[in-house]
Amino acid sequence: MTAQTLDGQATAAEIKSDLRTRIADLKASGHLPGLGTLLVGEDVGSQKYVAGKHRDCAAVGIASIQRELPASASQEEIEAVVRELNDDPACTGYLVQLPLPRGIDANRVLQLIDPVKDADGLHPTNLGRLVLNEPAPLPCTPNGVIQLLRRFEVPIEGAEVVVVGRGVTVGRSLPLLLSRRSENATVTQCHTGTRDLAAHLRRADIVVAAAGVPHLVKPELVKPGAAVLDVGVSRDESGRIVGDVDPAVAEVAGWLSPNPRGVGPMTRAMLLTNVVEAAERAAGIAR
Ligand SMILES: Nc1nc(=O)c2c([nH]1)NC[C@@H]1CN(c3ccc(C(=O)N[C@@H](CCC(=O)O)C(=O)O)cc3)C=[N+]21
Q: How remote is the CA of residue 49 from the centroid of ligand 1, in Å?
A: 5
Q: Residue 1 above 90 pLDDT?
A: no
Q: Matching CATH topology for 27-115 and 140-262?
A: yes
Mean pLDDT calculated for residue range 226-254: 96
User: For 184-193, how does the pLDDT look when each residue is reduced to its tens digit (9 = 90+)?
Assistant: 999 999 999 9
105: pLDDT confidence band, cut at 50, 70 and 90?
A: very high
Q: How remote is the CA of residue 65 from the centroid of ligand 1, in Å?
A: 18
Q: Cβ distance 280 to 32 under 8 Å? A: no
Mean per-residue pLDDT of the chain: 96
Q: Please work out whether the CB of residue 244 comes within 6 Å of at least one atom of ligand 1.
A: no
239: pLDDT confidence band, cut at 50, 70 and 90?
A: confident
Q: For the chain, give the percent of residues with pLDDT over 70.
A: 99
Q: For the chain, give the percent of residues with pLDDT over 90.
A: 96
The pLDDT score that the predictor gives to residue 45 is 87
Name residue 68's beta-bridge partners: 39
Per the annotation, does 165 bind a ligand? yes
User: Of 111, 170, 233, which is best to mutate to test ligand 1, by the most ligand atoms within 8 angstroms of its C-beta?
Assistant: 233
208: pLDDT confidence band, cut at 50, 70 and 90?
A: very high
223: pLDDT confidence band, cut at 50, 70 and 90?
A: very high
ipTM of the complex: 0.93
Under 8 Å CB-to-CB from 154, ≥6 apart: which residues? 6, 206, 227, 254, 255
Cis peptide before 99 (omega within 30 of 0): yes
Q: Nearest-CA neighbor of 208 among 158, 252, 144?
A: 144
Under 8 Å CB-to-CB from 226, ≥6 apart: which residues? 204, 205, 206, 207, 252, 253, 254, 255
Per the annotation, does 41 bind a ligand? no
Q: Please work out whether the CB of residue 98 comes within 6 Å of at least one atom of ligand 1.
A: yes
User: For 22-37, how does the pLDDT look when each residue is reduced to its tens digit (9 = 90+)?
Assistant: 999 999 999 999 999 9
Under 8 Å CB-to-CB from 65, ≥6 apart: which residues? 34, 35, 36, 37, 85, 88, 90, 91, 94
The third-level CATH classification (topology) of the domain covering 140-262 is Rossmann fold (3.40.50)
Mean pLDDT calculated for residue range 145-153: 98
**Domain boundaries, given as residue ranges, for the chain:** 27-115, 140-262
Q: Residue 287 above 90 pLDDT?
A: no
Q: How remote is the CA of residue 99 from the centroid of ligand 1, in Å?
A: 12
Catalogue the E-assigned strands of the chain. 4-5, 34-40, 63-69, 93-96, 160-164, 186-190, 206-209, 227-230, 234-235, 241-242, 255-256
The reported pTM is 0.96
Superfamily of domain 27-115: Leucine Dehydrogenase, chain A, domain 1 (3.40.50.10860)
Q: Please work out whether the CB of residue 97 comes within 6 Å of at least one atom of ligand 1.
A: yes
